[in-house]
Amino acid sequence: MTASVLQLIGVRKRFVDTEVLRGIDLAVDRHEVVALIGSSGSGKSTLLRTVNLLERIDDGQILLGGEDISDPRVDADRVRARVGVVFQHYNLFPHLSVLDNVTLASRRVHRIPRAQAEETGRRLLNDIGLGDKAKEFPDRLSGGQQQRAAIVRAIATNPELLLLDEVTSALDPELVGEVLELVQQLKASGTTIVMATHEMAFARDVADRVVFLDGGVIAEQGPPEQLFEDPREPRTRAFLSRFSGWVS
Ligand code: ADP
Ligand code: MG
């Protein structure tokens, strides 16, 4: 028995001639928020995609709630129904209203009656101040509103785990705060989150643990205070020095 929601054991992933993940060991506890940081190309998105079975791993194991989801015989749709995901771009279906986006998985995958799914969807949208946008199409919303709706869609089915991949990096700076605030609220309500981010201040404020990926391995990890204030590895220090004011 494991208390971990998610466990990666010796995970390796290769694309043609490059090994992008070179033996990742990572366990995420229930209610924990883990921030993945690292240079562009360090494998953050690939790691998140392997958990959602968008990429199949070459070696190692991935356990979700103790179940080996990296077993090729596992039904990927069934796994995806247990994991919420939000990417950087294009999360909402443009031809569906915001409410239909938010309720789609509940209705189609979890077979919840429309009226009940819509009641939950409206409540979630109201909670984040988007109740009046329920019937709008996504292109009528700002980028920040769209990402917030995408996050609400990802949690509408009560997933065991929420994966966020650079959810603010396509946004205008003035829209970043409202999305980060929503992530902060989800953390407060106990959502288990693994998020790749370039927002170091946010990672420091919200994450329970920060994981620094470099060259396909976890170069260093720890509580944000330690990793940001007193990194042990020279390469962590070098990475953080690119974000001005982080390490002296
Ligand atoms: P990050 O999210 O940290 O920027 P990625 O996981 O997107 O990094 O990418 C890690 C490396 O894997 C990069 O070198 C990228 O070019 C490569 N890569 C990612 N996806 C593919 C793919 N589908 N085919 C080939 N190479 C890929
Ligand atoms: Mg990425």
Q: What is the pLDDT of residues 41-64, one digit of tens each?
A: 999 999 999 999 999 999 999 999
Contact 28, 34 (CB under 8 A): yes
One-letter identity of residue 160: E
CA–centroid distance, 134 to ligand 2, in Å, is 30
**What residue owns the CA closest to ligand 1's atom 23?**
15
Q: Taking the domains of the chain in order of start, what are their residue ranges?
A: 4-91+160-240
Contact 121, 85 (CB under 8 A): no
Average pLDDT over residues 64-71: 97
CA–centroid distance, 19 to ligand 1, in Å, is 10
**Confidence at residue 89, expressed as pLDDT on a 0 to 100 scale:** 86
Counting residues of the chain whose pLDDT is more than 90, the rounded percentage is 90
Phi/psi of residue 114, each to 5°?
-50, -45
Neighbouring-strand partners of residue 36: 196, 211
Work out the pLDDT band at 245, boundaries 50, 70, 90: low
**What residue owns the CA closest to ligand 1's atom 12?**
20
Contact 83, 64 (CB under 8 A): yes
**Confidence at residue 51, expressed as pLDDT on a 0 to 100 scale:** 97
**What residue owns the CA closest to ligand 1's atom 15?**
41
Give the tokens for residue 74: 């596992």
Closest CA to 239 of 40, 32, 102: 40
CB of 44 closer than 6 A to ligand 1? yes
Neighbouring-strand partners of residue 67: 64
Give the tokens for residue 16: 């043609």
Q: Which ligand is nearest to the CA of 213?
A: 1
CB of 40 closer than 6 A to ligand 1? yes
Residue 187 CA to residue 169 CA, distance in Å, equals 20
Neighbouring-strand partners of residue 213: 218
Please state which CATH number belongs to domain 4-91+160-240.
3.40.50.300
Average pLDDT over residues 186-200: 96
- Give the CA-trace dihedral at 155, 183, 150, 53, to 10 degrees: -60
**Confidence at residue 244, expressed as pLDDT on a 0 to 100 scale:** 67
**Confidence at residue 246, expressed as pLDDT on a 0 to 100 scale:** 58
